[in-house]
Structure 1
Amino acid sequence: METKIALRAKRRAIAQTTMAALFAALIAAGAFISIPLPFSPVPVTLQNLFALLSGLILGPLLGGAATALFLLAGALGVPVFSGAVGGFAHFFGPTGGFLLGYLFAALSAGFIAGRPRGNRRVPLLRIILAVLAGFLVVYVPGVIRLKVVLDTDWGTALAAGFIPFIIGDTLKGIAAVLIAPRLRRVAVEQMDG
């Protein structure tokens, strides 16, 4: 017969696995809200928001695992990348750096916000810093990869892969700051309950 501690640990592991899978699915679902831009190979999606939220809400390890699961599914050909496509070749295309940046976003936002535990609240300033860092680490590898693939100068790469997204990502960042604290509490309840 299993002890209460063993049962609680098993329930927690199941809840954590479920939450990671849920966020991987949310990141994938973000691909279906994809707005192509005529001047850029990078579309507007919600995937960066969901990758960021995975780290903010689940912490660096589970958030990173959720994002890695999403990337693995896409690499294996599941159509989870923007435009409902998949395949390993997309990591070498113009948006490949952004895909890698999603993992960096989940990890960095998770490390800054910390792993959710009990009733501990994360200060708002820390959430804001986590959001800013999360978006920044999406753009660094994204713009670098875009510059290399397009064989262009930095100004053109920034004009195609960063500048058009500032307003939208500011709005996504505000949404993340507003919803992350509440969703962290819900995640803790589900994983510790």
Structure 2
Amino acid sequence: MSSQPLSKRVVLADFLSHTFISQAILVLGYAAFIGLSAQIVIRLPFTPVPLTGQTFAVLVGAMVLGSKRAMAGSLAYLSLGLAGVPWFAGATGGVRALAAPSFGYILGFILASFLVGALAEMRLDRYFLGTLGVMVVGNLGIYVLGAGWLAFVSGLGVKEAIVLGVLPFLIGDGLKALVADIVLPTTWRVVQRFDQEH
């Protein structure tokens, strides 16, 4: 555990050591977590964008890490994927991903990871309503860039892009938000109690 005072630990990752190696492991572990969650794929017949586990990994991971580590991790995910690591959705990778209708969601992960990490640094992830609000903001960031890229690549209008790139994912992302609402505040209570007792 970190020797930092409890009041200085603004995200859960602050309870870990702060050596360069440990921080690098956190960043690369976050990138790998996003990559693994991308392999949970459900393809829908009416949209070119698949359902994956990525939004949960991106948003919850960002709340755990904070803005800088999370943004570094999402950038690592993007960079290594474009370099050929097959961890984009459906075990794909390489520069051909730039032409995919779903590539904008990966760009959205970068924006969302920073926003969500910053909101977690304001201690909003310690409470049910705060965590819910953070998840909503993060998803909006992903949707804006995701649907925008979908419209650009596919030549769709704004309404069509929202119908194909946002609406199919609202229920799933709502369920992910509810899971996060249980996991994060509960984890904070457990970690804080353990830290105070030791």
Q: Same fold (TM over 0.5)?
A: yes
Which residue pairs with 1:95 in the alignment?
102
Which residue pairs with 1:32 in the alignment?
39
Which residue pairs with 1:164 in the alignment?
168
2:18 paired with 1:12: yes
Q: How many residues align?
A: 181
> For 1:43-81, what per-residue CA distance to the aligned partner results, in whole angstroms no more than 9, with x for missing partners?
000011111112111111111111111111101011111
- Classify 1:41/1:121 alpha carbon distance in 2 versus 1 (closer, same or farther; 3 Å): closer
Which residue pairs with 1:139 in the alignment?
143
Shift of residue 172 of structure 1? 0.8
TM-score by length of 1: 0.83
Maintained 8 Å contact 1:57/1:184: no
Task: Flag structure 2 segments of 5+ consecutive residues without an equivalent.
Answer: 4-16
**SS of aligned partner of 2:50:** strand
**SS of aligned partner of 1:32:** coil
Which residue pairs with 2:61 in the alignment?
54
Task: Flag structure 1 segments of 5+ consecutive residues without an equivalent.
Answer: 5-10
Relative to its length, the structure with more strand (as a share) is 1
Query: What RMSD in Å do the two structures reach over aligned CA positions?
Result: 2.8
The percent of aligned pairs where both chains have the same amino acid is 33
> For 1:65-110, what per-residue CA distance to the aligned partner results, in whole angstroms no more than 9, with x for missing partners?
1111111110101111101100123134211210100111111111
Shift of residue 115 of structure 1? 7.1
Q: Counterpart amino acid of 1:176?
A: A
